[in-house]
Amino acid sequence: MATLLKINKGKSVTPEYIRDMLFYFNDAAHKFHQDTKNGWEHDAMGKLYEGIAEFKDDIPEKIMGYMGGERIGGLNKIDIPEYKSKQDSIDLSKSLIDFAYEIYEWAGEKKIL
């Protein structure tokens, strides 16, 4: 099983972290999509990376708007794990759900919902 990135539990969430993680999840889902051999998993990972691509653009742009147009800064590319089995796709999806909730909580604290 691939070693998937752990979510930022207990640390402060920043615009940079959010943008970096969106790129990570998009790239990981795209790579897993290409590496799968099972038809349903291939289709699911394809839909996942295509869906994340929109959020990868929209969420950072909204954050920059809330920051008065200030730019987020350099991108910290996160290494994508190797795909070994369908459990990796499941784990990636669960991590993405955790991350989405983390963004939701952060936005609520910042009153930008």
Q: Taking residues 58-62, report their average pLDDT.
A: 95
Residue 43 binned pLDDT confidence (cut-offs 50, 70, 90):
very high
Burial (CB count <10 Å: 0-12, 13-18, 19+), residue 84 = exposed
Give CA 61 to chain center in angstroms.
Answer: 15
- Per the prediction, the chain carries an average pLDDT of 90
For the whole prediction, is pTM greater than 0.85? yes
Lowest mean pLDDT segment, chosen from 59-63, 68-72, 82-86, 107-111: 107-111
Neighbours of 47 (CB within 10 A): 12
